[in-house]
Every structure is written in structure tokens, then in C-alpha cells.
A = this chain, B = another copy of it.
Amino acid sequence: MKIVTKIFCLVLLPFLIAPPATAQLQPADYSQEAQQIIQELLDDKEGFQRLTKFVDTYPHRLSGSESLEESIDWIVEKMKEDGELDNIRTQQVTVPHWVRGEESATLISPYKKSLPMLGLGGSVATPEEGIQAEVLVVSSFDDLQSKSEQAKGKIVLYNVPFTSYGETVQYRIRGAIEAAKHGAAASLIRTVGSYSMQTPHTGTSSYEEGVKKIPHAAITIEDAKLIQRMTNRGKKIVVNLQMDAKTLPDAQSRNIIAEIKGSEKPEEIIVIGGHIDAWDVGQGAMDDAGGCFAAWQALRIINELGLEPRRTIRLVMWTNEENGLHGGTEYKNMVKDNGELENHILAIESDSGVFDPEGFGFTGSGEAFKMLQSIGTLLEPISAGEITRGGGGADIGPIMREGVPGMGLQVDGTRYFWYHHSPADTIDKLKESEFNKCAAALAVMAYVVADMEPTLPRES
């Protein structure tokens, strides 16, 4: 539905008569537009259908893959067909190109059993015949240190229960490095996830200059616990690990960029988006096609309602968030080089899943925080207006570190780490109504910040 009548009755008197430092946004001034945006998006059918078709058609979008580039072509084409957004373009980004290949893990002793697994991004392969070795179970890097003498030639299994992602993911990121330092032949982690139905989760991992690169993979929570229990009973655990993974020469990918050009201050930019790349398992529906498409929907609806924000709203779908962050980094380099960086008023990312939205986490000045809280009240009708301190996103991290205020859409995270980087991150886990609410929250926030009289202040 296209509403061409622009609402002109935007009265922002308080900002005109008070100095910016004490200016208070009157959210009521935007209540009509917010209501329209919310209503349009809650009623929308097209966005979620489009998302569904996209992930069904391009489920695997790992950097370097043809599938990722085809998926980018599809979006750019759809944007051009729509004819709704300005300045549709892509930004070239050089990305790593890791390929999983065939892989398996098999419990050999005390009995034979297939272990569902996923190699971790960036891992090297095993020799063709695999690595068959006794397993040393450790509960932490400290525990590994204390068992250093037993690690040589073994497969180290980090059986670390999920606490927070930040805490637990260390074993995915640095597990191979630390195990190799103690002479291990390979390393396994208990999958980084908060629930499992024999579900392994992949994700990126690292090596360190001067430390031997050993194969690194995730097994399920169930099997990590099983191996722990059998170890506790004094059983000797032997696993055969076979991985065919390789890192090919860097490849070319693209950030997708499109805009609603500002009507009065087009040089001032509110950037909003998510990342278009995804792991090579599941569909990357939640992580993060959903975030990209919710942001896209936000711009589409602002345009369809005929709203013409003073400032530019720029949609970016970053590439290579998962295993390199080159999309976010190259975007920062571009806007730094072309002078746009200073005019980035706010960066908003949706990369926590498109479940029931709760609000936004914000990193920026106290004054800006208050203004955003005020805008948040416009989202009370969908209970998505809570603004909390701290937040952002991986892709907007590079520009945030250059001083751009950043926000992350916050949603009900109950099941996020059930699906994250796993074969279970599929479209059926998402709900149209929740996706639409996420799009509405993004749209209201982006539109009001882009249109309000005062510019959202950076650090004051």
C-alpha cells in the first residue's frame, strides 16, 4: 500500500525554542507516523513471505560461496524492481573463503557411535585417514593447563557448559590454539548453544602465528556430556575425527546499500541493517536474513507511507559478518575515506534474531540516550520501546569504534542460542507477527531519528 500524502503537521517546537543540550523530544509529535508505521507493518504479508522465499532459495550464504553472491544479486534485483529505494548499489568486499567439505566424528571406544558434529569455521583438515586418538576431557583452559602432560597427541574436548555466549565462545575461538600449545592432535568443543536435540553449532575459530594449526570441531551437548560421564567412570575414550575443510584464496563479496534520501539534510545518515552472509548449515533465517529483511521492510514502509525524513536513512546488508567482519570493516573504511563517517548520526543493527522485540540497547551519549528513550515511548503499543544502555552490533562495531552512536535491536532471546549457527536456524522458527514487530520497531526508531529537528548528539 502506497500512501503518497506526506504528513506535514510535524511540530517540533520544543527543539526550536530550547538549546540542544536540554532539548526534549516530544514523542507525541510523531505518534501519528509511529502508529501508521506500526499498523502497516503489523498487517504486512509480503515481507515475511519474501524472507521465506529468500532463505528457502539461498539457505547457505557463507563468504566466498556462489550461493551468497547469488543471494545478493537476488536482493539487489528485487530492490530495483521495487523501485522504492534510492541509490541502490553494492560495495565490493574481499572476504575469506573457507569450505567445510566432508566431515565426521565417530566414537570408537568404548563402543562405536556416530557423533553429530560441525567443523568450526577456519579449521584445517585432518589427514585423509582422519585423526584417531584418545580424548582428554577438560573443563576450562586452566584445567587443560593442569592436565598439560596428558594432552600430547590427544584430542582435547572442552566440555564447557553454556553460560553466556561471550564466556563460552572462547573455547570455540581459541580452543585449537590452546590445545595445540599443549601438544594436542585436534580439539573438540561442546557446542556453543543453550539447548540441544543432538544439535551441533558451528562458528568461527582462530589460529595463532607460531602455534600449530590443528583441526577444531564442535560435537553436541549430549555427546560431550556422555564422554564426560564415561571418562568419570574410568573408560578410555577414543574418537576418530575426519575433516576435509580447506581455506581457499580470498574471494569477492559485496555489501548491499540502498537509501531513502533525506529531504532536508541528505548528508546526515542513519544507517540500519544486518548481515546477509550466514553459515553453511540451516538457513541463516534468524542469523541474520531476518535482521536484513526487517530493516529492508522498515525502509519500504517508510517509503510506502510517503514519509520523507529530513535525513538519509541508509540500509546496509553487510557481508562476511560470520567469519571475518570484512563487510563492516570495509564499510567503515569507505565512509571514513569519503567523509561520510562524521555525518553518521546513528547506526542501528538487528542481529539478535527477529523474535518478539523488546527495545534497543544503545551506546552513545547520555543526552542521546534520553532522546532515544523518548522515541522508545512510541513503541509502547508493541512493547518494544525499552532503551537500555550498552548495545550495538558486530557489523556496526567498526564505525562505532570511530565514534558513531550505535544501537542493537533487542528481542526475546530465549531460543536464540538454541538455533544459532546450527542446522535448526530455519524459517519455521520465526513468526511473521514477531518479524513484523521487529520491522516496526526499526522503522519507527530510524524514521524519528532521521526526521526530528535536533540531530542526535554524539558524546557530549
Contacts and interface: CB of A to CB of B under 8 A. Distances in A.
Interface in A412-434: 418-419, 422-424, 426, 428
Interface in A183-201: 195-199
Interface string A222-249: 1001100110010000000000000000
Nearest to A424: B197
A103 to B, nearest CB: 12
Contact of A226 (B56, B110, B116, B229): B56
A221 interface: yes
A423 B116 contact: yes
A426 B221 CA distance: 11
Interface in A272-292: 282
A56 B197 contact: no
Given A53-B233, A233-B53, A423 B198 contact: yes
Contacts of A57: 110
A229 B428 CA distance: 11
Given A199-B197, A233-B53, A226 B113 contact: no
A418 B56 contact: no
Contacts of A222: 424, 426, 428
B424 A198 contact: yes
A52 B229 contact: yes
A59 interface: yes
A118 to B, nearest CB: 12
Interface in A203-223: 221-222
Nearest to A426: B222
Given A56-B230, A419-B197, A225 B428 contact: yes
Contact of A113 (B59, B221, B225): B59
Interface residues of A, number: 28
A112 to B, nearest CB: 11
A59 B340 CA distance: 61
A195 B197 CA distance: 10
Copies per assembly: 2
Contacts of A422: 197-198
Interface in A22-78: 52-53, 56-57, 59
Contacts of A426: 198, 222, 226
Nearest to A59: B113
A282 to B, nearest CB: 8
Given A222-B428, A423-B116, A428-B221, A418 B197 contact: yes
A199 B221 CA distance: 15
Nearest to A114: B423
A196 B221 CA distance: 16
Contacts of A428: 221-222, 225
A62 B230 CA distance: 22
A110 B198 CA distance: 27
Contacts of A196: 197, 424
Contacts of A116: 423
A416 to B, nearest CB: 13
A199 B52 CA distance: 21
* 9 tightest Cβ-Cβ pairs between the two chains A and B: A197-B424, A198-B423, A197-B197, A222-B426, A197-B199, A198-B424, A225-B428, A222-B428, A56-B229
Given A196-B424, A198-B282, A198-B423, 4 more contacts: A197-B199, A197-B424, A198-B426, A225-B428
5 contacts: A56-B226, A56-B229, A196-B197, A198-B422, A222-B426
